[in-house]
Amino acid sequence: ADKLEDGAFLLDKMLPLADAMSFLPGITLSDQEAEAIRLGHQPTAEWLERIESHSATAVATREKLFRMSDSNGQLVAVGRYDEDGLPRSAVVFPLERGI
């Protein structure tokens, strides 16, 4: 029971979001692009030219998902392709602060 009450114990066992989503193809955003996504703007089709593939690309392509990270490697958002093939933000993550 003590371990469950100890937040530090649980924190040591948790994966950072960027690591948990690393199987998705990804785009590294500039500081301005990351800020725009966090403020609710949508990714542009031109950004897709910078997508980095991983071995699980087939799964991600089937699901039409990709991740967007900032220049520090922090996960900014997970995107998806809409029915017209345009990139859209599906989930935007808040800027992580020190704990």
Q: What is the pTM of this model?
A: 0.74
Write down the pLDDT at residue 59. Answer: 47
Q: Tell me the C-alpha to C-alpha distance, in Å, between residue 74 and each of 10, 18, 54, 70, 98.
A: 20, 6, 17, 5, 13
Query: With bands split at pLDDT 50, 70 and 90, how would you rate the model's confidence at 99?
Result: very low
Report the distance separating Cα 22 and Cα 60, nearest Å.
11
- Residue 84 above 90 pLDDT? no
Write down the pLDDT at residue 30. Answer: 95
Q: What is the pLDDT of residues 52-77, one digit of tens each?
A: 865 545 444 556 889 999 999 899 99
Report the distance separating Cα 34 and Cα 76, nearest Å.
7
Q: What is the pLDDT of residues 4-56, one digit of tens each?
A: 566 677 677 777 778 888 888 899 999 999 999 999 999 998 988 888 865 54
